[in-house]
Amino acid sequence: MKTLGRLSFAVALLTSSIALAQTPADIGHRSNMGLPVVGMITGAGSTFAFPVIGRWSRLYRSVKADGADMMPLDIGIEYEPIGSLGGEVRVTQRAVDFGATDRPVSSAELARTAMIQFPFVMGGIVPVVNIDGVGAGQLRLTGPVLADIYLGRIKTWSDPAIKTLNPDVKLPEAAINVVWRSDGSGTTFNWTDYLSRVSPDWASKFGANTQLVWPVGTGAERTQGVINLIARTKNTIGYVELGQVVRASLAYTLLQNRAGQFVKPDAASLQAAAASANWSANPDFALMLTDAPGPQSWPIVATTFALVPKPLNARSREVISFFRIAFERGAAEATSLGYVALPEPLVKQIKGYWDVALKSGS
């Protein structure tokens, strides 16, 4: 592919003679196998959702190939994980067919940029540490302590605020190396939204944003950059999507939720947070799941949203077809990667939203 990190799932299954036999008249109509020929569907944005989009892309192509002897060269999904902010910019510029962002876009902003929005997957954002002798789930933290670490007020792992929460954990007399995303990131937006909800000082000084001037620490670009920096630097703390935490064997912390319980980031705690959401009250799905109520809820659950430009055309319809296949056949794929599939009532609401948009053409 032209750029490093771009994900392309077009598999060349046609011979060159068949490919050459296609004419311009075929484009935008149908192939001789009854498949719409719209070219590669392109997307860009969230690194948080990159793994599941990759898995769903293979599923999409498999479903499209079902019953066909051969597949056109240009049926597939090409997705570039450049971060949520980059995805929003690219789709606003009409440079891709859809953007993926971990930040819900307001109804006013959707109207201004002429786009539709819908959620397609949820997942946990998890504090992770690299401290000698401290394994996954051994360290306990609270929201206010996390905020004070990222504000630069808590500077060492031996600080009383941390030791009080962890009397049985041996912590070093060492400075805390704080790590954050340096690129425009929806993961950062959800992380800082959570810090804003649990710390009035964070809310007044920084608030929630995809990118900011951090008061302390070191930045790394994209999720993999954060993972690499944490893995090679002792006494670090950072934030990473749960599925990638598991795949990279990083040490996650327990986190106290709004109900006062220290919870583990897993499928049950993510599903508990997802179940608390009132999506029906949000016609454009602009809803955050951070600091959700409930004794079992994980406190930092992010939703990834698809942004599709209006007016809807053949390519937009194929984007919706991709996500329809993902919803109907890809829930197990999402779960296997550490995400939470959307609840069925929400999927039904999204399909109704699509129907209205497709009928109106906008």
126 or 277, which is more confident: 126
Indicate whether 275 and 317 sit together in one domain: no
Domain end position, chosen among 232, 249, 281:
281
Q: Is the dihedral of CA 203, 204, 207, 211 positive or negative?
A: negative
The answer to whether residue 297 sits within a structural domain is no
Name the percent of the chain lying above pLDDT 90: 79
Domain of residue 327, residue span: 7-123+303-360
Indicate whether 91 and 150 sit together in one domain: no
pLDDT digits (tens, 9 = 90+) for 59-95: 998 898 875 555 555 678 999 999 999 999 999 999 9
Indicate whether 108 and 149 sit together in one domain: no
Indicate whether 200 and 104 sit together in one domain: no
Domain CATH for 98: 3.40.190.10
DSSP lists the bridge partners of residue 80 as 44
Indicate whether 114 and 159 sit together in one domain: no
The mean per-residue pLDDT over the stretch 19-31 comes to: 32
Q: pTM (2 decimals)?
A: 0.83
Helices 143-151 and 186-198, packing angle to 10 deg: 110
Take residue 346 and report the two structure tokens written for it. Answer: 């929400």
Indicate whether 111 and 93 sit together in one domain: yes
Name the percent of the chain lying above pLDDT 70: 86
Count structural domains, the chain: 2
The answer to whether residue 288 sits within a structural domain is no
